[in-house]
Amino acid sequence: MNELDSDQATTPLTSDQLIEALSRDDELRSARGYRQRFAVSAESIRLRSPRNKAEEAIEKANGQVKEQLIESIMDMTPEVFEHLVAELFTAMKYEDVRVTGRSRDGGVDVHATLVAGGVISVPTAIQVKRWKKSVRVNEIRQLRGTLHPGMQGIIVTTGNYTRDALREALGNALTPIHLIDGALLADLLTEFGIGVQASRLSLLSLSQEALDTIHERVAKGAATISLGGVELKPSYYIDKAPSSDGRTLLECIIVMTDLAKGQPALECYIARFQEAFPRITREDEARRRSRVLTSLGLAEIENGHMVLTLAGRNFLDAPSAQFLVDLLIARIVGAREIMQLRSSRTRQELRSGLEISPPEGLTPTQAKLIEAWLYALGA
């Protein structure tokens, strides 16, 4: 797995491409013994909540294993290290990998061929350095001097590189020199299972939103379900938004969403919520009203933290009433039907009709609450 180059990094991605790229990032980090950074679902992409003690302990232990791996490499003979690097590049899908041995082919220790798409073949000269000291600029220039046109060079060291060496490696695009330091070497060996052994243990985290959704569906008689993360139809219910002197509904939702920035612990979020909306004095009422964010898909509760979704971040970037109306129609039971009725009736007629015949799955009170949301948002 390779990181995006600079051109790819500045190219706009479709949602499918973004999900694929972030999923690859998570797979790569997991393979190298790091904590995954993103939580990807059918509805959102978000940064995972802050790590817990178990994850911290695992990542620390993995780091110690990598340090031991480099120490073991330092105890190897140069010949064994060369063969270890050859095995790594074979695992990385390079072809025709061979150790030069004592011939010392111009200081090159391993030869290989990078084949791209079965069409382009790039001869590769690899130099390995079992060093604690930093590789200096002279070593970069010496390797580049041995390369023929169309070749690339790679230096693998257990140590680091000086700043001048890093600049020199990037200074000639026609004869590229790629650098692998000790940290990346340990990551790559870990990723391909060379010299380390991984054991897998699932780490569980509470999904309070899923529990809340089930609770609401049972309490309010919802008949819809979700299969494989794909909602068969809108399946959430909306509660009252907190009232606040001088604030519109849109402004209230902006405040609520902004409070979730930084992935605060749920208890901290509720405390901030009550400070922002002092009329809500009871904690249980604050918790109930805060579920508006999860119902709209602006935030999720993960591992005891309030976490903004991609929709939540997009909303804060460009807040608009229409954005909220679109979320209501997409996620809230009965919102689409009530929106359609609004186009052909006065507000008084609509509310009277909802009192007598609300949409399926809703009580008259719930139906009129949705109408109040749509009205307040100017739909």
Supply the DSSP string of 69-100, one letter for each residue: HHHHHHTS-HHHHHHHHHHHHHHTT-EEEEE-
Residue type, 190: T
The per-residue pLDDT for 226 is 43
CATH 3.40.30.10 for domain 67-204, yes or no, is no
pLDDT (tens digit per residue) in 363-376: 999 999 999 999 99
For the chain, the farthest-separated pair of C-alpha atoms sits apart, in whole angstroms, at 92
Residue 36: pLDDT above 80? no
The pLDDT tens digits of the residues spanning 62-82 come to 999 999 999 999 999 999 999
What are the tens digits of pLDDT across the range 217-249?
554 444 444 434 444 456 788 888 777 667 899
Buried b (16+ CB within 10 A) or exposed e, 53-75: eebeebeeebeeebeebbeebee
Q: Minimal CA–CA distance to 165: which of 175, 152, 174, 178?
A: 178
Dihedral pair phi/psi, residue 196, rounded to 5°: -135, 160
- pLDDT of amino acid 223: 40
Q: Which helix or strand (DSSP H or E) is residue 121 part of? A: strand 120-129
Report helix, strand or coil for 29. Answer: helix
Residue 101 scores a pLDDT above 80? no
Domain boundaries, the chain: 67-204, 208-376
> What pLDDT was estimated at residue 45?
62
Mean pLDDT, residues 6-20 taken together: 61
**pLDDT value of residue 159:** 96
Which one is predicted more confidently, 204 or 279? 279
Q: Are 335 and 239 in contact (CB under 8 A)?
A: no
Q: Which tokens belong to 7?
A: 């051109």
The rounded distance, in Å, linking the Cα atoms of 184 and 188 is: 6
The confidence score (pLDDT) of residue 216 equals: 54
What contacts 43, CB < 8 A, 6 or more positions away?
229, 231, 297, 309, 311
Q: Are 377 and 324 in contact (CB under 8 A)?
A: yes
Q: Are strands 305-308 and 110-116 parallel, antiparallel or unpaired?
A: unpaired
For residue 26, pLDDT over 50 is answered with yes
> At CA 55, angle to CA 49 and CA 59, rounded to 5?
120
User: What mean pLDDT comes out for the span 335-352?
Assistant: 90
CA separation for the pair 332, 369 (Å, rounded): 11
Terminal Cα-to-Cα distance of the chain (whole angstroms) = 47
Is the pLDDT at 170 greater than 80, yes or no?
yes
Local confidence band at 5 (pLDDT 50, 70, 90 cut-offs): very low
Is the pTM value of this prediction over 0.85? no
pLDDT confidence of 106, banded at 50, 70, 90? low
pLDDT in tens, 119-128: 889 999 999 9
Share of the chain above pLDDT 70, in %: 80
What tokens does 275 get? Answer: 């400070």
SS3 325: helix
